[in-house]
Amino acid sequence: MEREVFLEPHDLIVSKTDLKGKITYVNRTFMNISKFYEKDVIGKPHNIIRHPDMPRGAFKLLWDTLHRGEEWFGFVKNRTADGNYYWVFANVNKGFEYGKHVGYYSVRRAAPRAAVALMSELYAKMREVESRHPSTRAPEESLKMLMEHVQNEGTTYEKFVLNLFDQG
C-alpha cells in the first residue's frame, strides 16, 4: 500500500533535463525524497517519477507553457522508487548554458495541504475527462476542463496556483 512522503518546509528538490526531458542532474534532496539513486535516473526520462494519478492534461499545460517561453508553476504528485508518493509545488523553466537553451530545470518544494486536497480533486476530474476521450484528444480535453475551472474562479492558471501556494 502506497503512503505519502512529506517534504520538510525547507526542502528544495532540484533536477535538470536535456531538451528531450532526460535527466542530467538531481540534487541530494531529490534522491532522499524519491528514493532513486543518481545512477538510476541520470539519462532516464524525467517521467520516471510521474505518478499515475497525474492527468496528461497537466503535463500538456506544462509543455505548452514552456514552449511559449514562459516558466510554469504547478502542483505535481510524484512517485518514489519504493512505490510511495509525494506532492510538490513545482517551478519549471528553460535551462541555459553560455546563452544556449540546453534543457529545463525544476525546483520543487512542499505543497500546502489545502492545495493538495483541491488539486487531488481537480486531477481526479481531469483523469475522468481523459477516460472519456480518445488518447489523442484526452490531454486537450482535460486541460480544457481545468482552464474552465480556473476561469470560473475569475483568474488565470498561474495566479490560481500561486494563490493556492501562498495560502498554505
Residues 152-165 have pLDDT tens digits of 999 999 999 999 99
> CA separation (Å) from 52 to 8, 14, 79, 106, 167?
24, 21, 8, 20, 27
* pLDDT score of 33: 98
Question: Is pLDDT of 168 > 90?
Answer: no
* pLDDT score of 43: 98
How long is the chain? 168
Distance (Å, whole) CA 112 – CA 166? 9
Residues 54-110 have pLDDT tens digits of 999 999 999 999 999 999 999 999 999 999 999 999 999 999 999 999 999 999 999
Residue corresponding to grid cell 496556483: 161
Residues 11-59 have pLDDT tens digits of 999 999 999 999 999 999 999 999 999 999 999 999 999 999 999 999 9
Residue corresponding to grid cell 492545495: 115
Q: Which pTM does this prediction carry? A: 0.95
* pLDDT score of 122: 98
Question: Is pLDDT of 137 > 90?
Answer: yes
* pLDDT score of 142: 98
Please report which confidence band the pLDDT of residue 1 belongs to, taking 50, 70 and 90 as the band edges.
confident
Domains by residue range for the chain, with CATH = 13-167 (3.30.450.20)
Alpha-helical segments (H) within 8-156: 28-34, 38-41, 56-67, 113-131, 138-152
